Amino acid sequence: MNNQDNLRQRLLQLDDSSYRAYKDIKGNYKFPDFTLIIDRVQGDPFASPSQIRVQLPHVVANFPSNLYQTRSREIALADYLTRQLDHAAMEVSSRRGTGNSGLIAITQIGQSVLERTSILIKDEFVEARLVVGLPARGRRISGYQAAEMLCEDIPKLVDKALKYQSLNHKQIQWQVETIEDADWLRQQLAQRGLVAFIANGSILPRRSGVDDRPLVEEAVAFQSPTQLQVEFNCPNRGLIKGMGIPVGVSLIVGGGYHGKSTLLRAIEVGVYNHIPGDGRELVVTNPAAFKIRAEDGRSIAGVDISPFINQLPQGRSTTNFSTPNASGSTSQAANIIEALEADAQLLLVDEDTAATNFMIRDRRMQQLIAKDKEPITPFIDKVRQLYTDYGVSTILVMGGSGDYFDVADNVIAMENFQPKDLTEKAQEIAQQYRIERTPEGGKHFGSITPRVPLAESIDPSRGKRDVKLKVRNVDQVVFGSEDIDLGAVEQIVEAGQLRAIASAIVYAKNQYINEHNTIPEILERVMGDLELLGLDILTSFPEGNLVKFRRFEFAAALNRLRTLKVR
Ligand code: ADP
Ligand code: MG
């Protein structure tokens, strides 16, 4: 194998050659402490940067094995190292010429702790994946700069961010234990009859709509009302207390600007773990929770929305409903049915982003517009059936309509950012002020029929390329010649998830999408493969920018592909 000196010599020889000559350095190099692998070399200084890996044997990295011996701990440690490497890379990264010359970077990360391909802890070594902008002057190679980057800066980075001896042992331990506790808590929820838990002392508000870090100064820490308080004895942290939200139908009520949506948002992202200091590290939610909202304009492919929508104008079918341009209520209906198809167990709805006519239909409106003139059966008449027929719970932010008191098991009121249990009071009020509306939901929710997606309707190719995928932030992905808009799929928290989802759709098409497999069967297989074999099965060579996603977000992306056809 070539070594560090060979690489340096080659780079110096390449100085001033045309940029393409960099292709020559692809390969493996033995450094004193690690192996450097150059997987992909960019074609010009402005193209997306080159991809490299370093593999550091455990004897060198030297992490005590208890820091990565379980899956939970391994993900926590890898996440910690990703963050360290990110900081260190930002420090050493510097402009070294045209385009992205000099860039050293790792995948973008947020507040969640997720399985990612940026750092992998394998049996023999720790592997880190980076992108580097190979330096150029104009379109000529800067060999000296490149040698400095790859042969000096990279080893410095490795020393700083990937060796146990140079890292903060206490912090690592804390990260690993925090994540382990959160995973443990999430696992306990079902047997305790809960769908979510928010620990006392949690900080739920964020700095701003574009800054997901915790609000610092004016933040009011969360404190459970006594009626809903539960205790857990965590493996690391020991005894903690907080609010448990039971299974069934729960309302979050309260005045405007009192913290309702902030609480729901924390519950939404409670399907993921968060770094210590985030404020939501002990907020955990049933992992099969899915945020439901109205999303007018989305496309829908052959969904049976008849539990909610019937008798549309022009006799349009609602048992096999397709449209390139859904309304607020039909989109929300489809979002629910698709979530159920993917086996969601908890629906999260916020009045801020729900369609009013989907949520309520009061007595006066029932009088004015007869049932046979209104295609929509409102959610209020279906939400209990979801629980009794399918065991699917709902948490609903609803400050605007007391009609829901009749169907709620729990009513939590937010008052000055603190929760109160107003269940009894709401039930008294429901008795005292009967609303006398006519229930319109029938006896049962209705059936969920899994769809079979057709392979020919899923085409990732564009022009001469068989597969063209490109991710724009967390809300859009280019899939062949289609754009998939995921702006309304709110539990996608990192762009890397979307990158992985796009590749997973291609993977699913090649492996499992045929004339027979239903969407739930396809989800089961894809997620099973990822669990067993890791995210690397999704790409042709090891990439550092893939992040684990849930079955629900995979289904959401597939469902929003505008060419999708189903049987
Ligand atoms: P609602 O949905 O009840 O109208 P929001 O959840 O949108 O209210 O919160 C309103 C504002 O209050 C937001 O700017 C939010 O960041 C802030 N906020 C929410 N919870 C807290 C809290 N616990 N401490 C301080 N500020 C908070
Ligand atoms: Mg709100």
Could you read off the pLDDT of 198-234 as tens digits, one per residue?
999 999 999 999 999 999 999 999 999 999 999 999 9
Please give the number of the atom of ligand 1 that sits closest to the Cα of 417.
23
Q: Which residue CA neighbors atom 5 of ligand 1 most closely?
A: 259
Q: Is 383 helix (H, G, I), strand (E, B) or coil?
A: helix
- Looking at residues 525-547, what average pLDDT do you find? 97
First-to-last alpha carbon distance for the chain, in angstroms, is 53
Residue 54: in which H helix or E strand, if any? strand 50-57
Q: Judging by beta carbons within 10 Å of its beta carbon (0-12, 13-18, 19+), is residue 228 exposed, middle or buried? A: buried
Q: Which ligand is nearest to the CA of 222?
A: 1
**pLDDT value of position 315:** 87
What is the CA(253)–ligand 2 centre distance, in A?
Answer: 10
Give the model confidence (pLDDT) of 429-448 as tens digits.
999 999 889 999 999 999 99
Q: Which residue CA neighbors atom 9 of ligand 1 most closely?
A: 259
**pLDDT value of position 453:** 98
Give the model confidence (pLDDT) of 312-366 as tens digits.
888 888 999 999 999 999 999 999 999 999 999 999 999 999 999 999 999 999 9
**pLDDT value of position 473:** 85
* Maximum separation of any 2 CA atoms in the chain, in Å: 88
Please give the number of the atom of ligand 1 that sits closest to the Cα of 259.
6
**pLDDT value of position 1:** 87
**Cα–Cα dist 34/24, whole Å:** 21
**Cα–Cα dist 55/35, whole Å:** 5
Is the confidence at residue 191, as pLDDT, over 90? yes
Which tokens hold the place of 430? 């429901």
Give Cα separations from 213 to 208, 277, 284, 417 (angstroms).
8, 9, 18, 18
Please give the number of the atom of ligand 1 that sits closest to the Cα of 203.
23
Q: Which ligand is nearest to the CA of 412?
A: 1
Which tokens hold the place of 334? 């489809």
What is the CA(218)–ligand 1 centre distance, in A?
Answer: 11
Encode 515-541 in three state secondary structure: CCCCHHHHHHHHHHHHHHHCHHHHCCC
What is the CA(260)–ligand 1 centre distance, in A?
Answer: 7
Query: Band of the pLDDT at 108, cuts 50, 70, 90?
Result: confident
Which tokens hold the place of 450? 């899994």
Is the confidence at residue 24, as pLDDT, over 90? yes
Please give the number of the atom of ligand 1 that sits closest to the Cα of 263.
6
What is the CA(179)–ligand 2 centre distance, in A?
Answer: 29
Give the model confidence (pLDDT) of 256-267 as tens digits.
999 999 999 999
Pocket (CB within 6 angstroms of ligand 1) = 204-205, 215, 218-220, 254, 256-262, 414, 417
What is the CA(114)–ligand 2 centre distance, in A?
Answer: 27
What is the CA(279)–ligand 1 centre distance, in A?
Answer: 14
Please give the number of the atom of ligand 1 that sits closest to the Cα of 222.
23
**pLDDT value of position 192:** 98
Helix axes 519-533, 551-559, angle to 10 degrees: 130
Kind of pairing, strands 289-292 and 346-350?
A: parallel
Is the confidence at residue 525, as pLDDT, over 90? yes
Q: Which ligand is nearest to the CA of 351?
A: 2
What is the CA(207)–ligand 1 centre distance, in A?
Answer: 11
Q: Which residues are found with C-beta within 5 Å of the ion, ligand 2? A: 260-261, 352
Report the topology of domain 185-449.
Answer: Rossmann fold (3.40.50)
Alpha helices in 350-439 (DSSP H): 356-359, 363-368, 383-390, 423-432
**Percent of the chain topping pLDDT 70:** 100
Give the model confidence (pLDDT) of 411-427 as tens digits.
999 999 999 999 999 99
Q: Which ligand is nearest to the CA of 252?
A: 1
Q: Which residue CA neighbors atom 25 of ligand 1 most closely?
A: 219
Q: Which ligand is nearest to the CA of 220?
A: 1
Give the model confidence (pLDDT) of 270-279 as tens digits.
999 999 999 9
Domain range annotation of the chain: 2-167, 185-449, 455-559
Considering Cα of 420, then 386, then 270, then 109, what sign does the dihedral take? Answer: negative
